[in-house]
């Protein structure tokens, strides 16, 4: 996978993960909350990406790498939680 200078991996497989997550969340929470969360996330992503140069100027490249590692850890924790929830649902507990 291609890696950019900040150490981030390209988002090739992310689309499939996003669709799967949305389908799971729609089943749990319904369409309206999932749609509103999607819109809020898109707006937040746009805001952050539009100000990326300013943010990197403030926190620096090392700060960006550290932030990426922390966010990756949080994302992994969410993934584990979702997998546990799905496994327990399949087991009937």
In a domain, 37, yes or no: yes
What distance in Å separates the CA atoms of residue 65 and residue 87, rounded to the nearest whole number? 33
Work out the pLDDT band at 1, boundaries 50, 70, 90.
very low
In a domain, 7, yes or no: no
**pTM of the predicted model over 0.75:** no
Name the more confident of 84 and 11.
Answer: 84
Tokens of 67: 């932030």
pLDDT score at 40? 93
**Residue 3, strand partner residues:** 9
Mean pLDDT, rounded, for 70-77: 93
- Checking if the pLDDT of 2 tops 70, the result is no
In a domain, 74, yes or no: yes
Nearest to 6 by CA among 47, 55, 46: 55
In a domain, 3, yes or no: no
**Number of domains within the chain:** 1
Tokens of 72: 């990756």
Quick: pLDDT tens for 8-55: 555 556 667 777 888 888 888 888 988 898 899 889 999 999 999 999
Q: Are 59 and 67 in contact (CB under 8 A)?
A: yes
Domain coverage including residue 23: 14-91
Work out the pLDDT band at 5, boundaries 50, 70, 90.
low
């Amino acid at each position: 996978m291609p890696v950019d200078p900040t150490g981030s991996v390209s988002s090739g497989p992310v689309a499939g993960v996003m669709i799967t997550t949305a389908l799971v969340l729609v089943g749990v929470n319904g369409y309206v909350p999932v749609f509103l969360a999607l819109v809020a996330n898109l707006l937040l992503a746009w805001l952050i990406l539009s100000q990326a140069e300013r943010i990197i100027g403030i926190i620096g490249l090392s700060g960006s790498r550290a932030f990426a590692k922390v966010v990756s850890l949080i994302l992994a924790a969410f993934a584990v939680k979702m997998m546990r929830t799905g496994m327990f649902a399949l087991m009937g507990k």
